[in-house]
Chain A
Amino acid sequence: MKAVIELRDVRLAYGAHVVLNGITFSVHRGETLCVLGGSGVGKSTILKLILCLESMDSGSVTVLGHDLCSAGRSEIFKVRQRMGMVFQGSALFDSLPIFDNVAFALFEHTDLPLETIRERVREALAFVDLDFERVGEMLPSELSGGMKKRVAIARAIVHQPEILLFDEPTSGLDPITTRKIDTLIVKLRQELGVSSIVVTHDTQSACRIANRVALLQAGDIIFMGTPQQMLAAENPYIREYLE
């Protein structure tokens, strides 16, 4: 299997505070990797490094065959168009209505007619259980936190990216929607071969969706393996985390 994302010995520190202490892992095409770990260990930071939003001290990140460290700005933008990201705080554009938020990538990078774009946005919103007619014209400030999160997911999948990065996509959502989004991630993988990294605090949901799980602690990956292996692991920290 081919790796679509590859991190090699990535180090990052803010001043004296070492966040990532030489992280190495890869994600294969059509694979879902769940990243678990306590608050503040650098899970969001890893996703930002993969998107080249943050720069690292040393190491290398390769995405879809492009070495992002040596890539120029326009190459990075090209690679990003093939990725989708759901930010921890949703990060919707608060001056744009929901329709324009979700349609953003389509308006920017395609010449699709408006009708087709509306159709694609309608589908993406339906995926996350939102009614286009009801929310399309609303502004992000008029939505609840969970609804914003779902709009953010719709915005990330609407241009059918090859790689999806989710930063706690289901935190703050009810169990039913959580399960729907888990199903969505699995479905994207099975039907469209999308590779994804999902940062989550929810071990149950990680076990449902992940092909592999990584557990992060104090700047290192202390465990990497299938959900079954994780559940069977004897490392005391992992046991404590799972309790």
Chain B
Amino acid sequence: MPASDLSPLRLLDRALKSAAYRVQQYFDLLGRVLVSSVSRPFYGRDLTQQMDTIGVGSIGIVALTGLFTGMVLALQSAVEMRQFGATIYIGRLVGASIVRELGPVLTALMVTGRAGSGMAAQLGAMRITEQIDALETLGVDPVRKLVAPRFLAALIVLPMLTVVTDVIAVLGGLLIAVVKLDLTATLYMRSVYQALADTGFIFRFIPIDLVQGLVKPFVFGGIMALTSCYYGLSARGGTEGVGRAATHAVVTSSILILTTDYLLTQLLIALLIE
């Protein structure tokens, strides 16, 4: 390599260019997925299969995540609240933090670890064994056949999984409230409801918190599926490349989910509450 190629500026320039190129490819993929999602042919069987893999397959870990998060939230807040004799507000605290934030984010992160890595590894293996090329050769668009079903499945399934997390987390909090803090179940549940009622309602009966808590996983699902498929499809270099694709998929998806969570919260607060 000539010396000029190693100058810091040039290296920076090259790194920026390749990053810009990847971002462009990512949005190009998004565009193609969106077009494939609303035009024929659809791959319905692949969609249901993916909903099964991502959704049904994740219920177990999502339930566990919810249970322990709810329990630990109740336990932790009890310490503070006891000082003020305010343990009856524990339901509020658990309800608000779970429905608004922890439910969507934790569910998305768990599903990314489980299903996102799987997607990236599967598509990556198909890429390096030329199965993606074979699909194209047989006149089938891999984006339509492989990416779109995963993307749509994640959009549909993630809000559902989030509801599972939310419900079980609230029940986990209930368990602690009743068993360790001697609250009655009614008192706890009323306080959970208060948390949701606090921020107000849309159309008089849908709590804004719940809307917020379901818009987020919808977006997170899309990010998770798109990012994982992107890394899977661009896998290079043997089995090592497949492993790399899976790792990148999980890391990048997680970071994007956390960043988007912040931006989305700002946006939703501005739109719904203010």
Report A's interface with B, CB cutoff 8 A: 48, 51, 53, 73, 77-78, 80-81, 83-85, 87-89, 91-94, 104-105, 108-109, 155
Q: Which of B130-170 contact A (CB under 8 A)?
A: 130-131, 133-141
**Cα of A78 to Cα of B140 in the assembled complex, Å:** 10
Which B residues lie within 8 Å of A81 (CB)? Answer: 138-139
Task: Name which residue of chain A comes closest to B122, CB basis.
Answer: A95
The 3 closest A-B pairs by CB, nearest first: A81-B139, A91-B130, A91-B134
Which B residues lie within 8 Å of A109 (CB)? Answer: 139
Q: Determine whether B129 belongs to the interface, using a CB cutoff of 8 Å to chain A.
A: yes
Q: Is A108 touching B131 in the complex (CB atoms < 8 A)?
A: no
Q: Is B141 touching A87 in the complex (CB atoms < 8 A)?
A: no
Q: Is B139 touching A105 in the complex (CB atoms < 8 A)?
A: yes
**CB within 8 A of A89: which of B126, B130, B138?**
B130
CB B135 to nearest CB in A, in angstroms, measures 8
Q: Is B138 touching A108 in the complex (CB atoms < 8 A)?
A: yes
Q: Is B136 touching A80 in the complex (CB atoms < 8 A)?
A: yes
Of the A-B pairs whose beta carbons lie under 8 Å apart in the complex, a sample of 12, sorted by A's number, is: A51-B136, A73-B141, A77-B140, A77-B141, A80-B136, A80-B139, A89-B129, A93-B126, A93-B134, A93-B135, A104-B138, A108-B139
- For chain B, the count of residues having a C-beta within 8 Å of the partner chain is 13
Task: Name which residue of chain A comes closest to B144, CB basis.
Answer: A77
Q: Is A51 touching B138 in the complex (CB atoms < 8 A)?
A: no
Task: Name which residue of chain B comes closest to A108, CB basis.
Answer: B140
**CB within 8 A of A94: which of B131, B135, B139?**
B131
CB A146 to nearest CB in B, in angstroms, measures 17
Q: Is A87 touching B130 in the complex (CB atoms < 8 A)?
A: yes
Which B residues lie within 8 Å of A84 (CB)? Answer: 137
B92-133 contact mask (Cβ, 8 Å, vs A): 1 or 0: 000000000000000000000000000000000010011101
A91-B130, A91-B131 known; A53 vs B139 contact (CB < 8 Å): no
Which B residues lie within 8 Å of A88 (CB)? Answer: 130
CB B126 to nearest CB in A, in angstroms, measures 8
**CB within 8 A of A87: which of B126, B134, B139, B140?**
B134
**Cα of A109 to Cα of B145 in the assembled complex, Å:** 13
CB A158 to nearest CB in B, in angstroms, measures 10
Q: Is A91 touching B139 in the complex (CB atoms < 8 A)?
A: no
Task: Name which residue of chain B comes closest to A96, CB basis.
Answer: B131
Which A residues lie within 8 Å of B139 (CB)? Answer: 77-78, 80-81, 105, 108-109
**Cα of A57 to Cα of B137 in the assembled complex, Å:** 21
**Cα of A94 to Cα of B134 in the assembled complex, Å:** 12
CB B40 to nearest CB in A, in angstroms, measures 12
**CB within 8 A of B138: which of A73, A94, A105?**
A105
**Cα of A180 to Cα of B200 in the assembled complex, Å:** 76
Q: Is A85 touching B140 in the complex (CB atoms < 8 A)?
A: no
**Cα of A10 to Cα of B76 in the assembled complex, Å:** 68
Task: Name which residue of chain B comes closest to A167, CB basis.
Answer: B130
**Cα of A73 to Cα of B28 in the assembled complex, Å:** 13
CB B229 to nearest CB in A, in angstroms, measures 16
Which B residues lie within 8 Å of A85 (CB)? Answer: 134, 137
Q: Is A91 touching B136 in the complex (CB atoms < 8 A)?
A: no
Which A residues lie within 8 Å of B129 (CB)? Answer: 89, 91, 94
Q: Is A51 touching B141 in the complex (CB atoms < 8 A)?
A: no
**Cα of A96 to Cα of B126 in the assembled complex, Å:** 12
**Cα of A85 to Cα of B129 in the assembled complex, Å:** 15
Q: Is A53 touching B133 in the complex (CB atoms < 8 A)?
A: yes
CB B237 to nearest CB in A, in angstroms, measures 13
**Cα of A27 to Cα of B131 in the assembled complex, Å:** 26
CB A54 to nearest CB in B, in angstroms, measures 9
**Cα of A80 to Cα of B140 in the assembled complex, Å:** 9
CB B22 to nearest CB in A, in angstroms, measures 17
**Cα of A105 to Cα of B129 in the assembled complex, Å:** 19
**Cα of A58 to Cα of B131 in the assembled complex, Å:** 27
Q: Is B137 touching A51 in the complex (CB atoms < 8 A)?
A: yes
CB B58 to nearest CB in A, in angstroms, measures 20
Residue among B130, B131, B133, B134 with the most chain A CB within 10 A? B134
Which B residues lie within 8 Å of A51 (CB)? Answer: 133, 136-137
B76-90 contact mask (Cβ, 8 Å, vs A): 1 or 0: 000000000000000
**Cα of A83 to Cα of B139 in the assembled complex, Å:** 9
**Cα of A91 to Cα of B131 in the assembled complex, Å:** 5
CB B38 to nearest CB in A, in angstroms, measures 16
Which B residues lie within 8 Å of A92 (CB)? Answer: 131, 134
Task: Name which residue of chain B comes closest to A44, CB basis.
Answer: B130
**Cα of A81 to Cα of B139 in the assembled complex, Å:** 5
Task: Name which residue of chain B comes closest to A95, CB basis.
Answer: B122
Which A residues lie within 8 Å of B138 (CB)? Answer: 80-81, 104-105, 108, 155
Task: Name which residue of chain B comes closest to A105, CB basis.
Answer: B138
CB A28 to nearest CB in B, in angstroms, measures 22
